[in-house]
Structure 1
Amino acid sequence: MQSVYRTSPYACYSLAWSPFHPHRLAVAGAANFGLVGNGRLLTLTPQGIEKAYTTQDGVYDVAWNELHENQVVGGSGDGSIKLWDLAVPDFPIRNWHEHGREVFSVDWSNLDKRLFCSSSWDGSIKLFTPDRPASLLTIPAAQTCTYAALFSPHQPALIASCASSGLLTLFDVRLPNLPQSTTPTPGPTAPATPALSVPASPGELLTLDWNKYAPHTIATSGVDKIVRVWDTRMLGHGGNVGGVCTGSLAGHQYAVRKVQWSAHRADVIASASYDMTCRIWTTQPASPASPTQLYVYEPHTEFVVGCAWSFFDEDVLATCSWDQTVQVFRPPLPPPKHM
């Protein structure tokens, strides 16, 4: 099984499966590899391109509204965030512009489905709800680029982020009552002290993902090419500084841009890299001498910058690349182990 979708003339930056429709994908793209020019948000079905929205700057990440099957949010290089409704042609239904630099990630909470968060190269994380014209909360997460921020799939108030400083940080963002005001005034700034801070890489940390089955397990990677798995329960000396690396997965030749745990297997991770491959790993090899790399997907001809496991079809993976393609395939994995 393999399907290839062409996104020319836009290089792909990210993609996300719909939580409502098994075969619908949203794709973020940018002209001229995101260096200059327009962006585009696409939705794909097995029939091809379903919707296409053009923006003034590159679109770097996308996330589906967990409460509305036709809404998808995208983060852009000009610091803006736009919400599109597939039933509305041409223009977004909401536009926020609070970040001072590129918005490199957006993530919708699958627990508190009113909320999504964004992270930016301006070093901040912001919380939004579609009902308000301004952010609910701003977290000054880092003095350097914050590449990604993701809600925990287990605890609704917990966000993990990664930055160019190499730090993996966790923030508690409890909002017992959402503000009722509709004035376009950003919400308060949260204290900058994280609940946990882990020096997860000697270089820039570009990506992270929460394990869907183990609440305290996070995978990270970045420019050092190594995928690492962390247990956030095991703190080091100093209280909120520490964390234990429970596994290191080496094999990529260049920086890793995306990691994602399988939605169906607790031990399986996919990673997308500038080495033009997507690799699949297991954290539970058959024996200590067994390789942890299960499969290498190599058809892309440019940087592979995104990967996403299907929510509905076990072991179906989508990848996207600067080669202007989205590729959907079923890797030849061994039968799942009983966890």
Structure 2
Amino acid sequence: MLEFRTPGFNPYAVKYSPYYDSRIAVASAANYGIVGNGRLFCLGLGPQGIVVEKTFDTNDAQYDLAWSETNENQLLVACGDGSIKMYDVGVGSEFPVANFHEHKREAFSVAWSPVTKDTFASSSWDGTVKIWSPARKESLKTLPVGNCAYSTSYCPSNPHLISCVSTDSHLRVFDLRTPISAAYHLAVKIPVHHLPHPAPPLPPSQRPPQIQTPSPPPPTTTPAEVLTHDWNKYREPIIATGGVDRAIRTFDIRNPAGGPVALLLGHEYAVRRLAWSPHAADILVSASYDMTEQEGWESRSGRGCSWA
């Protein structure tokens, strides 16, 4: 197993290059992102281990990154001053080749469109999601959220759908095909903290024998900040969320009022990041402030969930 340390900086995000399986990038921040500068590490994976190909320093913390889908050497970082900076690994300069700055507070998430490849999205603590083109400095569109938006993402199969999660314990999905007058493109708004609907009871003759075993504490129904989410790569309507209440939930956006399709409990502290597997429809990985990474799976029935 390869290991790379970032002395003086705490990593916030790591992403593989979509072009090379031997290149990754790490966005990091000093002092856990509370105060201080940031550093972007571009790393090469080879027979001799991990090699630093390039570093880019910023005056503020770096909270997220996204590789360009159109240029193998370019990538974006979301910064604590509200800016989105584009760097080019193939250029000798240590300065950004482009700077996109409209957010009024920390830019906490950035995502490049995997379908059209000509736009990217950012979310910020200023309560907005912005759509950008790398060819212009002004944003193409601003989607109001109303409170701190921690994470934004494109649907992996539909370029018109953009999602975000926020401090008000809601998952929002915007459909850019709708008119702006229709709630600023807001198509779906799901309260994440709602419990799943209970399954219908079995007839008495089909009920298994009752065994007295300790049961885990039930998940909270109190609204809590949602910190991360991801679209399922194989089932377009399914989105997983994680946040401060330690629970991971999956939702079907076709049924916003139906509550979570499935619930995963296993972390002891807030879930900071999660991602669906690019190779399987029923596997996801999560990372938490409890210093653990866990791999879980969701059964195709949508009810039985467990940790691996």
Please confirm whether the aligned pair reaches a TM-score higher than 0.5, indicating the same fold: yes
Task: Establish whether residue 261 from structure 1 lines up as the match of residue 265 from structure 2.
Answer: no
**Once the two structures are superposed, what CA deviation does each residue of 1:38-79 show, in whole Å capped at 9, x if it has no partner?**
101111112322110000000100000001110000110000
Distance 2:185 2:161 in 1: 13
Read off the aligned partner of 1:282 and give its amino acid letter.
Answer: W
TM-score by length of 1: 0.77
Cα pair 1:37 1:57 within 8 Å, conserved: yes
Bigger shift: 24-33 or 206-215?
24-33
1:111-150 matched pairs, under 5 angstroms = 111-141=115-145, 143-150=146-153
Q: What amino acid sits opposite 2:39 in the alignment?
A: R
- CA separation of 1:243/1:45 partners in 2, compared to 1, >3 Å: closer, same or farther? farther
Aligned residue number for residue 284 of structure 1: 299
One of 285, 290, 295 as aligned partner of 1:275: 290
Deviation at 1:153, TM superposition (A): 0.4
SS at match of 1:218: strand
Answer whether contact 2:13 2:64 (CA < 8 A) is retained: yes
Distance change (3 Å), C-alpha of 1:23 and 1:145? same
Measure the CA separation in 2 of the matches of 1:26 and 1:209.
19
Identity, % of aligned positions? 44
Deviation of residue 109 (structure 1)?
0.5
Q: Which has the greater radius of gyration?
A: 2
| 2:62 equivalent in structure 1 | 59
Provide closer, same or farther for how the CA distance between residues 11 and 189 of structure 1 changes in structure 2, counting only shifts above 3 A.
Answer: farther
Q: 1:200 and 2:200 equivalent?
A: no
Which whole-Å CA distance do the structure 1 matches of 2:184 and 2:280 have between them?
34
Is there any run of 5+ residues in structure 1 with no aligned partner, and where?
Answer: 177-187, 236-241, 295-339
- Given that residues 223 and 254 in structure 1 are in contact (C-alpha distance below 8 angstroms), is that contact kept between their aligned partners in structure 2? yes
Shift of 1:244: 3.6
* SS in structure 2 of the partner of residue 245 of structure 1: coil
Cα 1:192–1:285 change in 2 (3 A) is: closer
Post-superposition offset of 1:27: 0.9
Number of residue pairs aligned between Structure 1 and Structure 2: 273
Report the Cα distance in structure 2 between the residues aligned to 1:16 and 1:67, rounded to whole angstroms. 16
In 1, are the aligned partners of 2:282 and 2:300 still within 8 Å (CA)? no
- Structure 2 counterparts to residues 45-124 of structure 1, below 5 A: 45-46=44-45, 47-88=50-91, 89-124=93-128
Within-5 A mapping of 1:178-189? none
2:171 to 160, 168, 173: 168
User: Hey, what does 2:216 align to over in structure 1?
Assistant: none
The amino acid that maps onto 1:55 is T
Larger relative contact order (CA 8 Å, sep ≥ 6): 1
Runs of 4+ in 1 over 3 A off after TM superposition: 188-193
* TM-score normalised by L of structure 2: 0.85
**Aligned position for 1:4:** 3
